[in-house]
Amino acid sequence: MTKDKVLIFDTTLRDGEQSPGATMTHEEKLEIAELLDEMGVDIIEAGFPIASEGDFKAVSEIAERAKSSVICGLARANYKDIDRCWEAVKHAKAPRIHTFIGTSPLHRAIPNLNQDEMAERIHDTVTHARNLCDNVQWSPMDATRTEEDYLCRTVEIAIKAGATTINIPDTVGYTAPVESADLIRMLISKVPGADEVIFATHCHNDLGMATANSLAAVEGGARQIECTINGLGERAGNTALEEVVMALKVRGDIMPYTTGIDTRKIMNISRRVATVSGFPVQFNKAIVGKNAFAHESGIHQDGMLKNSETFEIMRPEDVGLAGTSLPLGKHSGRAALRAKLSELGFDLADNQLNDVFVRFKDLADRKKEVYDDDLMALVYQNDSGDDRLKLKWLRVVCGTEGPQTAEMVMTIDGKDVNTSATGDGPVDATFNAVKALFPHGARLQLYQVSAVTEGTDAQATVSVRMEEEGRIATGQSADTDTVVASAKAYINALNRLLVRREQSEPGYDVKGVSYKDSA
């Protein structure tokens, strides 16, 4: 590797998926991994194999399918985790084991290990991992709150035991850019053997400094950035892949480092991750937000018309945003739809195109102009043929005179059932109807509506997050009728909860895997 290349390590499928409600299905994980591989991500952290049978299967299958990326799995500092991780990643062309332990005083207290005991554990587990795999990454969790001397000591032990990458996590998003650079610089200059390994940076965004901290770490000598698409992750999330990659591309004058990422694939994967994780991208998010390339004020629009560089530091095409083009309408045929989708970066198989075409015709009957964003919402519709619950028919009565009422027909396990329910507003009545037809104990945690495009005939996208006995699932749907979109999103979340119920076993949830098991 040349000194100025920065490796991109994506952990959307592990650290990103750990954010409450962001659980993805098996197929979705495979799809995201394929997109990451295609866009040139160097290392994909595909999951935490010991956490569940589901995680193990996802990591194994991603490992088998990956074409170019290194496939990595996470393991705590114990032999059982490491063996399971190796079982999952060993099928990859290029496998990696990533093992970690919390080294700060707060984290050492949990497994109740003193400094010497922990040092011995690091030596033993890294040695064990290296005996299985040539490519081993070690992380001192909460490194930025670990005593400097002890951090150096543990990093030295891990290197001597065979770690090939040393990752320095800012687990709680506590560090600041100057410190982040200094910490890596200090480790590289003080720890014997440091020049033989790659240093990585893994920053969380609790103070909004994750991207800046990651880039500063590169200045300090790190050559691997750990990140997620859209910055997905627990609490305030992780460093966003699109931010670091575009910052390095646009500001190559002061940060002369390259990555192997095809930036034109950014927008597509960002939208896909937003859909499958149920975490919509905020409008003003850097690079991938809906407004990132929008110009509304007169002065800005005027400047843009004369020279786009007046208010844009990168071109929309650089991140895969198609230039503005004409909307489709109800007379547009299958060929026009295929051409437009391909322009937007979707190459659909014939059967997928047929499904989208049916939905497109239905939408075009109700909406005069179908814009790019409408089409993307159609492509990303979440319902799958295997769903146990489906909405068949819905009529809602609402207005100033209550009670608002929803009449509904649902297909449940292939059988049609119907009911009528009232509620405090049309959405409440609709959700009550679903509950009457399919009684459940899940609690609604979030209900969010946004318009896909402008205008009163715009499609509404609805996100719903539900919780049942600690399991969380999100559902999404889009429709020009907000109540229909709400019903479908609610049913989509229930279907996902049902899948999770079936997968459940003690310790299934990665968020439930604790330190205590690591002894």
- Closest contact distance (angstroms) between CB of 333 and ligand KIV is 48
Give the residue, chosen from 52, 104, 144, 171, that forms a contact with ligand KIV under the rule CB under 6 A.
171
Out of 141, 328, 378, 394, name the contact with ligand KIV by CB under 6 A: 141
- Report the nearest approach of ligand KIV to the CB of residue 22 (Å): 14
Of 51 and 353, the one with the shorter C-beta distance to Zn ion is: 51
Minimum CB distance to ligand KIV smaller for 72 or for 281: 72
Min separation Cβ 15 and ligand KIV, Å: 5
Task: Candidates 156-164, 165-173, 188-196, 329-337: pick the segment binding ligand KIV (CB under 6 A).
Answer: 165-173
Size of the site for ligand KIV (CB under 6 A): 9
Residues 194-233 that bind ligand KIV (CB under 6 A): 202, 204
Closest of 296, 493, 466, 290 to residue 376, by C-alpha: 290
CB of residue 478 to ligand KIV, shortest distance in Å:
33
Least Å from the CB of residue 117 to ligand KIV: 20
Q: Is 199 helix (H, G, I), strand (E, B) or coil?
A: strand
| Residue 274 interacting entry, from ligand KIV, Zn ion, none, C-beta within 5 to 8 Å by type | none
Element (H, E) at 136: strand 136-141
> E-strand spans in 432-485?
443-451, 460-468, 471-479
7-46 residues in contact with ligand KIV (CB under 6 A) are: 15
Cα four-point dihedral sign 222, 227, 230, 234: negative
Q: Which of 223, 188, 202, 164 is nearest to 1 (CA)?
A: 223
Task: From residue 477, give the alpha-carbon distance in Å to each of 53, 379, 383, 454, 481.
Answer: 29, 11, 8, 18, 11
Quote the distance between the C-alpha of residue 118 and its chain's center.
32
At residue 365, what is the residue type?
D
Of 54, 169, 426, 475, which lies in the binding site for ligand KIV, with binding defined by CB under 6 A? Answer: 169
Q: Which does 141 bind (CB under 5 to 8 A by kind): Zn ion, ligand KIV, none?
A: ligand KIV
What radius of gyration do the chain's Cα atoms show? 24
Q: How far apart are CA 195 and CA 187, in angstroms?
A: 10
293-300 contacts: CB < 8 A, separation 24 or more? Answer: 293/321
Question: How many residues are listed for the chain in this entry?
Answer: 519
Binding residues for Zn ion (CB under 5 A): 15
Nearer to Zn ion, 213 or 482 (CB): 213
Q: Which does 100 bind (CB under 5 to 8 A by kind): ligand KIV, Zn ion, none?
A: ligand KIV
Site track for ligand KIV across 495-514, x = CB under 6 A:
--------------------
Alpha helices in 67-170 (DSSP H): 79-89, 105-108, 115-132, 148-161
Which residue, 19, 13, 18, is CA-closest to 32?
13
Binding site for ligand KIV (CB under 6 A): 15, 100, 139, 141, 167, 169, 171, 202, 204
